[in-house]
A = this chain, B = another copy of it.
Amino acid sequence: MTGSTEGQSDIVTAAVLVIGDEILSGRTKDKNIGYIAEYLTMVGIDLREVRVVPDDEAEIIAALNALRARYSYVFTTGGIGPTHDDITADSVAKAFGVPIGEDPRAIALLLERIKPEDLNEARRRMARIPQGAELVLNPVSKAPGFWIGNVIVMAGVPAIMQAMLDDVAPKLVKGRRMLSETVRADAKEGDVAAPLRDIADRFPDVLIGSYPFSDETGFKTNLVLRARDAARLRTATEAVIAMLAAIRVQQA
């Protein structure tokens, strides 16, 4: 997968690994998962799994090794700051079994923003990069993320994470984009379920999801169809629209 030429492979997959006690305690509400999910879908990468783990080296290593063996890419967020609880870089180096040390390229980036006299030992920690990694640029506060193997290590602060994703996106191998159509059904989920299952059976290559919601007039359903083939997606969407029209006629 990762060895293929951009645009050549049909399916490129990814996982997100969120690292941080503050997410698990509920103190901080994650804003990165949904953003990355939407972003990857848009560029043609299928997000297949997300994990959230604490600031614990053994947990980070175990999750990272499980995910990087399984998916084309793993995107991590969190734990790359200057304080003692920022252990992501060292954990990633251990997961890959490579040394880690102060990277002169990262020090140069930090010095674009931090005066030499303010570049204390703690801040120098932000320049610790595993051997063999490429830097991921951070236009917001300069301290870089990095990319090693199929793992992309990013900050937890949403604005910085988003900028880092923009930096790496052009270099990612993309798959064939998953296209989607949403059809709003002015009907309850339980009333469309049987004919919807028939359509799902007829279009095994189209993923069909059903999502209830309510507004002031009662329960409704959003039907979401997803496929990589535009023609098949259109045909299945037309089948759903016809099915909903038939239900309306029945109920009228």
Contact = CB atoms under 8 A, between A and B. Distances in A.
Contact of A193 (B30, B48, B122, B180): B122
B209 A21 contact: yes
Copies of this chain, tallied across the complex: 2
A6 to B, nearest CB: 22
A180 B48 contact: no
A38 interface: yes
A40 B27 CA distance: 12
Nearest to A33: B30
A65 interface: no
Given A51-B51, A123-B190, A84 B196 contact: yes
A192 B30 CA distance: 24
Contacts of A118: 190
A252 interface: no
Given A81-B189, A82-B190, A85-B208, A27 B224 contact: yes
A174 to B, nearest CB: 16
Contact of A194 (B21, B25, B120): B120
A219 to B, nearest CB: 8
Interface in A117-172: 118, 120-123, 125-126, 141, 157
Contact of A83 (B18, B23, B196): B196
Contacts of A212: 81, 157
Contacts of A207: 21
B33 A82 contact: no
Interface string A4-24: 000000000000001001111
Nearest to A125: B193
A85 B210 contact: yes
A239 interface: no
Interface stretch (A52-60, A98-106, A227-235, A241-249): A52-60
B48 A50 contact: no
Nearest to A114: B190
A200 interface: yes
A2 interface: no
Contacts of A82: 189-190, 193
Closest CB pairs A-B (n = 7):
A26-B38, A122-B193, A26-B37, A50-B52, A29-B34, A83-B210, A123-B190
